Amino acid sequence: MATKRLGIIMNGVTGRMGTNQHLVRSILAIRAQGGVALADGSRVMPDPILVGRNAAKVEALARAHGVARWTTDIDAAIANREDTLFFDAASTNMRADLVRKAIAAGKDVYCEKPTADSLADAVDLWRRAEAAGIRHGVVQDKLWLPGLRKLKMLIDSGFFGRILSVRGEFGYWVFEGDWQPAQRPSWNYRKADGGGIILDMLCHWRYVVDNLFGEVKSVSCLGATHIPRRWDEDGRPYDCDVDDAAYATFVAGDGVVVQINSSWATRVRRDDLVTFHVDGTLGSAVAGLQRCHSQARIATPKPVWNPDVPQAIDFYRTWQEVPDNIAYDNAFKVEWELFIRHLYDGTPFPWDLKAGAKGVQLAMLGHESWRERRWIDVPAL
């Protein structure tokens, strides 16, 4: 069967996530496996052109990974009719304008989230894409993490009975940059550059909660700037004017209570950098990035409160790990393949610019809740 070429304009892939997850572990991995298989037996081979503002960086990235095409001229790249898909993983504050250009040029669009730094822009992108008749998708990678896929399997099997509550913990200590370099870029802590953990992470939590536990109905959020001063990539001090922690509670679905703490100022003592503890009438589970442990109602131990003696139960040993019965591919790559099949086979792809706008909506409502110190209902888009 024939192999079809898919020209992809890949903007903003010189950053850590763009390089590692989207270029190397997704597009180049797909090329190495011979493309994406379609329903008729043919295959799609991605042909990327790397786009970046820094010529030295983008050329070095292309050379390091054997990518033949690169440019700093994004307008020329978008104008090229041979490349039909525009992908963006650059900074949030530039995304809306670039996606608008791509839509106006008739490109299909696949992009990172947040799709914009305002709800008005996020909704505008979705409506423009629909009016233009292009196909569009948004990266919602956590849905394909092995830990969450195992959790979804437990949900679909009825293991939990009626789900009561979810407790999520995300984050780690991001170094301030004075004693040792920070492991996140400094723009994350500047409002003008689209920074802030509420804008970053509530977009994630929207699609996780919507897809696993039911549509988010209301939100209460408290933000904080725990570390007000940091040092940038050049060792220069700067003031942080956005939140580096968010403590949010959502009501989802048929009354499921979801609490998720997100912080770049916490030290980890849990199973993983993110964990979701789900309690139901028939069982509970704790999922991380890769692993998931469950405890059924019938296997639940009976602790007795007695603060005067050491705890006799090793609670960790009372949980059973959900086995790796299938091979789990990279989460970003899985969604890339689903989107490419959507382009060629027309398979459903609900994780589109509307879903992206819902994530931005929740982030904006989180800010509003923090500012006004109240619960806020989430209206339908």
Query: Hey, how many other C-beta atoms are within 10 angstroms of the C-beta on 225?
Result: 17
Q: E strands of 232-314, at which residues?
A: 237-239, 245-252, 256-263, 274-280, 283-287, 292-296
Q: Where do the domains of the chain lie, and which CATH numbers do they carry?
A: 3-141+331-356 (3.40.50.720), 143-329+361-372 (3.30.360.10)
Q: How confident is the model at residue 73 (pLDDT cuts 50, 70, 90)?
A: very high
Is there a contact between 270 and 289 (Cβ–Cβ < 8 Å)?
no
Q: How confident is the model at residue 252 (pLDDT cuts 50, 70, 90)?
A: very high
Residue 370 has pLDDT above 80, yes or no: yes
Strand-pairing partners, residue 294, are: 285, 320
Give the separation between CA 355 and CA 122, rounded to whole angstroms: 10
Task: For the chain, give the percent of residues with pLDDT over 70.
Answer: 100
Residue 92 has pLDDT above 90, yes or no: no
Give the separation between CA 24 and CA 9, rounded to whole angstroms: 15
Give Cα 124 to chain centroid, integer Å.
21
Higher pLDDT, 42 or 193: 42
Is there a contact between 261 and 226 (Cβ–Cβ < 8 Å)?
no
Residue 240 has pLDDT above 80, yes or no: yes
pLDDT at 194 (0 to 100): 86
Tokens of 255: 């009354």
Spell out the SS3 assignment of 100-169.
HHHHHCCCEEEECCCCCCCHHHHHHHHHHHHHHCCCEEECCHHHHCHHHHHHHHHHHHCCCCCEEEEEEE
Give the separation between CA 5 and CA 85, rounded to whole angstroms: 11
Tokens of 193: 């550059």
Is there a contact between 260 and 170 (Cβ–Cβ < 8 Å)?
yes
pLDDT at 193 (0 to 100): 86
Q: How confident is the model at residue 132 (pLDDT cuts 50, 70, 90)?
A: very high
- Could you read off the pLDDT of 142-194 as tens digits, one per residue? 999 999 999 999 999 999 999 999 999 999 999 999 999 999 999 999 998 88
**Average predicted confidence (pLDDT) for the chain:** 97
pLDDT at 377 (0 to 100): 98
Residue 321: which H helix or E strand, with range? strand 320-321
Smallest Cα–Cα separation from 95: which of 29, 208, 194, 235?
194
- Cβ burial of 302 (10 Å; 0-12, 13-18, 19+) is exposed
Residue 119 has pLDDT above 90, yes or no: yes
Smallest Cα–Cα separation from 143: which of 337, 336, 335, 291?
335
Give Cα 111 to chain centroid, integer Å.
11
- Could you read off the pLDDT of 294-311 as tens digits, one per residue? 999 999 999 999 999 999
Per-residue pLDDT, averaged over 246-250, amounts to 98
Is there a contact between 93 and 71 (Cβ–Cβ < 8 Å)?
no
pLDDT at 44 (0 to 100): 98
pLDDT at 250 (0 to 100): 98
Per-residue pLDDT, averaged over 107-113, amounts to 97
- Could you read off the pLDDT of 274-283 as tens digits, one per residue? 999 999 999 9
Give the separation between CA 22 and CA 18, rounded to whole angstroms: 5
Q: Mapping DSSP to helix (H, G, I), strand (E, B) and coil, where does residue 181 land?
A: coil
C-alpha radius of gyration, the chain, whole number: 22
- Could you read off the pLDDT of 316-354 as tens digits, one per residue? 999 999 999 999 999 999 999 999 999 999 999 999 999
Residue 1 has pLDDT above 80, yes or no: no
Q: How confident is the model at residue 84 (pLDDT cuts 50, 70, 90)?
A: very high
Q: How confident is the model at residue 241 (pLDDT cuts 50, 70, 90)?
A: very high
